[in-house]
Amino acid sequence: YQNAGANMVQQIAYSLAHVNEYFNRITNINQPIVFEISVGTNYFFEIAKLRALRILFNLIAKEYNHKFDCHLLVSPSKRNKTIYDYNVNMLRTTTECMSAILGGADAIANLPYDALYHKDNEFGDRIARNQLLILKHESHFDKVNNPADGSYYIESLTNQLAEKALVLFKDIEANGGFLKQLNEGIIKRKIQESADKEQELFDSGKEILLGTNKYPNKKELMKDNLELFPFVKIKPRKTLISPIIEKRLAEKMEQERLKNEN
């Protein structure tokens, strides 16, 4: 949901409503529920988002006598990644991995800085691994289980996100549940509305991606470096449910720059 542009409250509420459908339809789930979650660069809010999700999951799981904690598999968002000034992606993924750790992620799958436009390669993968190793061995992020506990600011953000997400979750359930709203396109429409607001902030320069809409290197050329197509691929076909599509903030701006490259 994050990669498609959902805000944090939506990400939590839709994830909970999604898992609630499993609880309603499958009895005796005897293993942990795995959430695959993306985190962005809003450092403290992302920490709070993961904490709020776990709190609310445990609240719902208790109602179904589900005795397993959830498993949070977290990865950096693609939404704020860029093909121009691509080294900045390393800074973004580092802080995002930090948020994931402090937020209580059970596992982290880091995103190589060049994953948008390069095929899998040894250098990009090694850098991605080393970012996590540095956080573990040099920054000692593995020494405390819940380092954010007791922080008034993070606790306050966690409670606010949890309260708002719970209200949205209850609204979804009161109006037929997640699958009904997904089939009717309501979930997609709400996410698109949030994505459009964020895109407008980016296009107007109020939301900044360094090297793209702020301090771009006009001499940087990328056309010959693209091994992968880094934009949304449109392939019309019939589907039972209208898909929720991932889209990066910088796509339109990058396409214009690529067209203007000599």
The domain spanning residue 224 has which CATH number? 3.20.20.240
| pLDDT tens digit sequence for 9-64 | 999 999 999 999 999 999 888 899 999 999 999 999 999 999 999 999 999 999 99
CB 249, CB 2: distance < 8 Å? no
Residues spanned by the domain of 25: 8-260
Q: Residue 183 in 3-state DSSP?
A: helix
| pLDDT tens digit sequence for 71-109 | 999 999 999 999 999 999 999 999 999 999 999 999 999
Instruction: Say which residue the tokens 């109602």 belong to.
Output: 63
Q: Which two tokens stand for residue 66?
A: 């589900």
Question: Is the residue at 227 inside a domain?
Answer: yes
34-51 as b/e: b if 16+ CB within 10 A: ebebbbbbbebbbbbbbb
Question: Is the residue at 3 inside a domain?
Answer: no
pTM of the model: 0.94
> Crossing angle, helix 43-63 and helix 88-102, to 10 degrees?
40
Q: How many domains is the chain partitioned into structurally?
A: 1
Question: Is the residue at 2 inside a domain?
Answer: no
